[in-house]
């Protein structure tokens, strides 16, 4: 695409010989021309990355965002190598579908440690559960507020259910409902509350006070059991 060629040209002009690699990744790489601009992501890798380097690339970054794309993510080459242990989920997602637009293929041969993947998955799930409990305190006064809290939070939990299946040796399904069901099957857990909340997100409905409180209780219980299972993987 012409936009990618233009981006590479602007990055070369800004960074010169300091530019190591420009990597396009995301679901859009696989889906091709039918993808939305927002589904494309770009990683820019440089040898060094100073404030001056960032200042020089600002016009290119602003142009890219104004064209409808997400801001590029920057790493130095050393940071990319050293970050595999702390961002295993992100690197697995990146490797799943990517294309090198310019420079070296720094992802070839890169493997993510299953132990690091399990640790980050548990960390993310536990952190989101702690936040969910805290947000319940102000949101739990009304059925609308509590329903909103659940439907707004469910997608981020499903995002981190996919690595659970990877840890179990499976390629996660594309759909969110299918992911929830498969996690329940593999862990031997009832994940119906998660599916119901996801349906409420897709097809909003007004719930009675007692019903929404019961659903939230089931939501917390289900997430707690999932995290306990991940802890034991």
Q: What is the pLDDT of residues 127-136, one digit of tens each?
A: 999 999 999 9
Average pLDDT over residues 106-124: 91
Is pLDDT larger for residue 71 or for residue 29? 71
Chain mean pLDDT for the chain: 90
Give me the mean pLDDT over the 49-73 stretch: 94
Q: Is 4 in contact with 24 (CB distance < 8 Å)?
A: yes
Rounded CA-CA distance 181/112 in Å is: 26
Q: Region 83-99: what's the mean pLDDT?
A: 87
Local confidence band at 138 (pLDDT 50, 70, 90 cut-offs): confident
162-218 confidence digits (pLDDT tens): 999 999 999 888 788 999 999 999 999 999 999 999 999 888 888 888 899 999 999
Q: How many CB atoms lie within 10 A of CB 169?
A: 8
- The span from the CA of 140 to the CA of 153, in Å, is 14
Q: Fold for domain 2-103?
A: Beta Polymerase; domain 2 (3.30.460)
* pTM beyond cutoff 0.95: no
- In the chain, where are the structural domains located? 2-103, 114-231
**What is the gyration radius of the CA atoms in the chain, in angstroms?**
21
Tell me what the mean pLDDT of segment 85-90 comes to.
Answer: 90
pLDDT of residue 76 exceeding 80: yes
Tell me the three state secondary structure of residue 75.
strand
| Per-residue model confidence (pLDDT) at position 140 | 73
- Please, are residues 15 and 57 in contact by the beta-carbon 8 Å criterion? yes
Eight-state DSSP code of residue 26: S
Higher-confidence residue of 143 and 125: namely 125
How much of the chain, in percent, has pLDDT values that exceed 90? Answer: 68
112 vs 120: CA distance, rounded Å: 12
Query: Which candidate, 122, 128, 87, places its Cα nearest to that of 107?
Result: 87
Cα–Cα distance for residue pair 61/83, rounded to 1 Å: 23
Q: Look at the domain 114-231 and name its fold.
A: 1.20.120
* pLDDT, position 207: 81
């Amino acid at each position: 695409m012409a936009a990618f060629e233009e981006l590479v040209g602007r990055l070369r002009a800004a960074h010169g010989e300091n530019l190591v690699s420009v990597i396009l990744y995301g679901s859009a790489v696989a889906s091709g021309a039918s993808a939305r601009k927002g589904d494309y992501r770009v990683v820019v890798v440089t040898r060094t990355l100073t404030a001056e380097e960032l200042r020089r690339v600002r016009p290119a970054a602003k142009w890219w965002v104004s064209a409808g794309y997400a801001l590029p993510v920057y790493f130095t080459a050393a940071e990319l190598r050293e970050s595999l242990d702390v961002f295993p989920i992100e690197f697995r997602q990146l490797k799943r579908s990517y294309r090198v637009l310019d420079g070296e293929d720094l992802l070839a041969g890169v493997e993510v440690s299953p132990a690091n993947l399990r640790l980050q998955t548990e960390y993310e799930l536990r952190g989101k559960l702690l936040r969910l409990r805290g947000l319940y305190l102000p949101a739990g006064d009304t059925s609308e507020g509590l329903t909103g809290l659940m439907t707004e939070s469910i997608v981020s939990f499903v995002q981190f259910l996919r690595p659970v299946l990877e840890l179990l040796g499976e390629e996660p399904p594309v759909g969110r409902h299918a992911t929830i069901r498969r996690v329940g099957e593999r862990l031997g857990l009832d994940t119906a509350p998660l599916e119901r909340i996801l349906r409420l997100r897709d097809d909003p409905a007004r719930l009675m006070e007692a019903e929404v409180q019961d659903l939230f209780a089931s939501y917390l219980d289900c997430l707690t059991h999932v995290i306990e299972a991940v802890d034991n993987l």
